[in-house]
């Protein structure tokens, strides 16, 4: 049954404030599930099961599915739809308030989700900065966000560096608004992120790395000497000296920096006791 009729049956109006645009195109749902390459040995975390259309497909392929949904109005609908799937557990909570490693347990897990777009970056941080990260993520996001995440040096943002530090993103497919009900105002894309076992660059530690990256992006379009000087509380001169020690021209801008250059900068800062 399509999401519109299903929600009407349970007398539920979709909430825009919760990013409730439900996918009804079976071909698209199949492709998303296939992109996750699930086996019966896999545990899956789904964020926002909604009406359960994707959940059903995940349940058909994986050994365990944990779905976290913030909207408790969906409880009767999901209970009925997933009644024949004892290996699916639905948790009614805000994903950002959930301790994901504790919920998923010690075994590796995979995330598959048509994300609520209003908290895409926060969810990515919540999952990737956790002490135990997912092995792989297959995420439907706004097309524009997918492009930002996939960007190359010259167009990098804090979001792109944060994702690319933890894993390799690639685009699986584009989705037009017509595949959803209600239709969103924007195009969407499915991203698959394969998470690295260890970071692709040599950093003193993650916190030190992200401290310099955040400082570098703290002032839009400014030269790095100014952004880092302000962001690290060093002043321009000391920031320029630090950048030069790391082999980076102090007049460069944050969006042009490669991951390896950010790592060199983090090492220089650590060596300088910063
Ligand atoms: N998976 C369904 C589908 O593909 O049709 C629904 C996807 S819809 C874009 C996003 C879902 O995330 C909604 O069911 C919404 O209620 C849920 N959601 C929104 N905010 C959430 C949060 N903070 N934690 C968990 N789920 C959330």
**113 alpha carbon to ligand 1 midpoint, in Å?**
8
Q: Which residues line ligand 1 (CB under 6 A)?
A: 18-23, 47-50, 53-54, 68-71, 94-96, 114, 116, 119
How far apart are the C-alpha atoms of 68 and 92, rounded to whole Å? 6
Backbone region of residue 269 per phi and psi (left: phi > 0; alpha: psi in -120 to 50; beta: other values): alpha
Q: Whose CA is nearest to atom 10 of ligand 1?
A: 116
The predicted pLDDT at position 61 comes to 98
Residues of the chain with pLDDT under 50: none
Question: Which atom in ligand 1 lies closest to the alpha carbon of residue 71?
Answer: 16
The pick from 116, 139, 182 for probing ligand 1's pocket by mutation, whose C-beta has the most ligand atoms within 8 angstroms, reads 116
> Cβ contacts of residue 102 below 8 Å, gap of 6+?
none
Chain center to CA of 206:
17
The predicted pLDDT at position 220 comes to 81
């Amino acid at each position: 049954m399509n999401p519109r009729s299903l929600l009407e049956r349970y007398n539920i109006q979709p909430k825009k404030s919760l990013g409730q645009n439900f996918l009804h195109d079976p071909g698209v749902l199949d492709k998303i599930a296939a992109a996750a390459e699930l086996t019966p040995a896999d545990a899956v975390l789904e964020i926002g099961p909604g009406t359960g259309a994707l959940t059903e497909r995940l349940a058909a392929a994986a050994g365990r599915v944990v779905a976290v949904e913030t909207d408790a109005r969906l409880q009767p609908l999901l209970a009925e739809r997933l009644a024949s799937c004892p290996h699916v557990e639905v948790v009614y909570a805000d994903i950002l308030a959930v301790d994901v490693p504790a919920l998923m347990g010690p075994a590796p897990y995979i995330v598959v989700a048509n994300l609520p777009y209003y908290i895409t970056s926060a969810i990515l941080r919540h999952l990737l900065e956790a002490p135990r990260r997912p092995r792989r993520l297959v995420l439907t996001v706004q097309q524009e966000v997918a492009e930002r995440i996939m960007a190359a040096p010259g167009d990098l943002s804090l979001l792109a560096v944060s994702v690319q530090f933890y894993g390799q993103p690639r685009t699986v497919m584009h989705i037009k608004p017509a595949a959803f009900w209600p239709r969103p105002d924007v195009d969407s894309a499915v991203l698959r992120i394969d998470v690295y076992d260890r970071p692709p660059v040599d950093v003193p530690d993650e916190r030190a790395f992200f401290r310099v990256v955040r400082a570098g992006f703290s002032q839009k379009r400014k030269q790095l000497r100014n952004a880092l000087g302000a962001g690290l509380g060093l002043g321009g001169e000391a920031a320029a000296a630090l950048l030069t020690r790391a082999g980076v021209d102090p007049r460069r801008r944050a969006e042009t920096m490669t991951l390896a250059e950010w790592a060199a900068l983090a090492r220089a800062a650590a060596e300088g006791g910063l």
